[in-house]
Amino acid sequence: MPIPSFDHRGLIPPVLNNPMSVDRSPYLASMPEVVQRFGTTPRRRQLLRGLIAYRQLFAADEYLTGVQLLDGSFVEDVEANANREPGDIDVFTLVAPPQKYVDDFSLWENHGASYWETELVNRGANKQRFSLDSYGTIIDGATPIYDIMQNVTYWYGLFSHQRDTFQWKGFIVVDVDTLNDVAALQMMGDE
């Protein structure tokens, strides 16, 4: 299903048609689809390049299974509604641990945990480097299911409502697989 158009509020609708339908947010999209839908200005394309560079950090440490939720003013018609450009992209990453850390926990202790904290979920660094408001959670067999549910429910609740107005809205989910990122970059060209 394509990413829905903005509704009369300048937001992605949280639900399509029937409120009991599964056609609802988050809307699954590929990076080329995200570029096509939201890469409409130089600033938006700059933000998308930052997101793709951030995604490369996950690939570099072999995070291959998971999703990223994309939200914030980036997925709103903020240009029309607030007469400004989006300042960043809000991104929450939910991933399985790389197999190398599952197989060798000492590798996680000696490298993986530090990489996770300093590169992947360091909000300050990622805001500065990529213009992202970044958060993340690793799902592994050691995490109690209730904790996972609480974390996902929190982020869904936060991302499904506009911060200032509390209006219910939709958001986007992309796979962490970076195979389509090259095509997304090519779509944006050089700027």
Give the Cα separation of 106 and 169 in Å (integer): 42
Look at residue 138 and tell me if it is in a domain. Answer: yes
Look at residue 136 and tell me if it is in a domain. Answer: yes
Range of the structural domain that residue 182 is part of: 27-188
Look at residue 21 and tell me if it is in a domain. Answer: no
How do residues 47-104 score in pLDDT, each as one tens digit? Answer: 999 999 999 999 999 999 999 999 999 999 999 999 999 999 999 999 999 999 999 9
Look at residue 22 and tell me if it is in a domain. Answer: no
CA-wise closest residue to 117 among 103, 137, 145: 137
pLDDT tier at 184, thresholds 50, 70, 90: very high
Look at residue 45 and tell me if it is in a domain. Answer: yes
Tell whether the model's pLDDT for residue 161 goes beyond 90. no
Q: How many domains does the chain have?
A: 1
pLDDT for 152:
87
Q: What's the predicted TM-score (pTM) here? A: 0.93
Look at residue 14 and tell me if it is in a domain. Answer: no
